[in-house]
């Protein structure tokens, strides 16, 4: 009697969760690795397939979450909104006048976004350096090298150690 080798390329296991009447209310994919999961829920976390962008509070208020490399959630602000995408995205609140193109706005600090001249650097925190990307008008906030911190909140000088007497 010969034994046959059986190889399964992919085996999806489902777990059904039913209410007291036996009606199925939820279906979960059971996995051991990411490749066991369907495209709609591509990450294997523990033994459950999920889309990490669907987790509550993955991104901040009004932020957009997209999966990068199929499983890594990336949060960002879009459509002229500014802020920390892990906290909140909001429309800039400093509008000085209407515009049709960038040349309608005064100086380099203002950008024509959604037909309004705005200063996108208002999203930067205390002591942060703001550079505006000329292609998309988005502010890039950074902390100076001697002042670490979160450039969207505050950049501060490191604490000076107490002198020994």
Return the domain boundaries, the chain: 14-50, 55-91, 92-157
- d(CA 143, CA 147) in angstroms, rounded, equals 6
* Tokens 């979160």, located at residue: 150
Residue 10 has pLDDT above 60, yes or no: no
Say if residues 147 and 141 touch (Cβ distance below 8 Å). no
Beta bridge partners, 82, equal 90
pLDDT digits (tens, 9 = 90+) for 76-132: 887 777 778 888 887 765 666 788 887 888 777 777 877 888 777 877 878 888 888
- d(CA 86, CA 76) in angstroms, rounded, equals 8
Residue 27 has pLDDT above 70, yes or no: no
Q: Which residues of 116-139 are buried (b: 16+ CB within 10 A; e: fewer)?
A: bbbbbbebbbeebebebeeeebbb
**Which pLDDT score is estimated for 73?**
87
Say if residues 40 and 51 touch (Cβ distance below 8 Å). yes
- d(CA 160, CA 43) in angstroms, rounded, equals 44
At 103 the three-state DSSP class reads helix
Confidence of residue 5 (pLDDT cuts 50, 70, 90): very low
**Which pLDDT score is estimated for 152?**
80
**Which pLDDT score is estimated for 3?**
37
**Which pLDDT score is estimated for 131?**
85
Among residues 54, 14, 10, 11, which one has the least CA distance to residue 30? 14
Say if residues 63 and 88 touch (Cβ distance below 8 Å). yes
pLDDT digits (tens, 9 = 90+) for 34-88: 888 888 888 888 888 888 898 888 898 888 898 888 888 888 887 777 778 888 8
Please state the pTM of the whole predicted model: 0.42
Contacts of 37 (CB under 8 A, 6+ apart): 29, 31, 43, 44, 49
């Amino acid at each position: 009697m010969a034994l046959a080798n059986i190889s399964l390329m992919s085996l999806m296991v489902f777990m059904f969760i039913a209410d007291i009447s036996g009606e199925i209310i939820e279906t979960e994919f059971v996995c051991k690795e990411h490749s066991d999961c369907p495209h709609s829920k591509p990450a294997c976390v523990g033994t459950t397939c999920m889309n990490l962008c669907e987790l509550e509070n993955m991104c901040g208020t009004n932020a957009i979450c997209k999966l990068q490399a199929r499983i890594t959630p990336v949060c960002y602000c879009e459509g002229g909104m500014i802020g920390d995408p892990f906290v909140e995205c909001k429309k800039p609140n400093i509008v000085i006048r209407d515009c049709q193109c960038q040349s309608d706005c005064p100086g380099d600090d203002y950008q024509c976004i959604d037909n309004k001249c705005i200063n996108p650097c208002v999203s930067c925190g205390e002591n942060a350096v703001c550079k505006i990307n000329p292609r998309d008008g988005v502010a890039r906030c950074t902390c100076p090298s001697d002042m670490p911190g979160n450039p969207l909140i505050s950049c501060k000088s490191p604490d000076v150690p107490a002198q020994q007497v």
